[in-house]
Structure 1
Amino acid sequence: MKAPSRSNGKSKPSFGRIIARVVWMSIKLLIIPVLCVAALIVGLAIGFSVLGDKPVSEVFDIKTWKHMYDLVFAEGG
């Protein structure tokens, strides 16, 4: 006489659970870079407007960053 087979409790996960795990892992992987970029933007805006006494809109102007690049990498002479 054989004993009836038992399931070991490891059933195949449903499609919804797989999608939920993929979404959760994506969120966990992306949260740090997104927070770093947000902190960079907020820091630039606050530093440029408070310390530099300039309008916040100039932070996102390409001319501002070209001028900064030219100041940093100008030939000293």
Structure 2
Amino acid sequence: MMYEKRLSESKYLGGDSFTLVDLHHLPSLHYLMKSQSKKVFESRPYVIAWVADITGRPAWSKVLAMIPN
């Protein structure tokens, strides 16, 4: 997976800082991590660490709090 290679070289997709590249992935990741696809992410250590990092951001938690279940 290209993401695993890229994230083995830097903390975020665009480099060592959180950028719009990472932000763009949050909505999709939110749904994918609730599906069977989660196994694909969990099998890649750099990818799952990145997912945990960006989905654990306080601002993203605030966004999720505004979404009705």
Specify which structure has the bigger relative contact order, considering alpha-carbon pairs within 8 angstroms and separated by 6 or more residues: 2
TM over 0.5: no
Structure 2 length-normalised TM: 0.24
Bigger Cα Rg? 1
Structure 1 length-normalised TM: 0.22
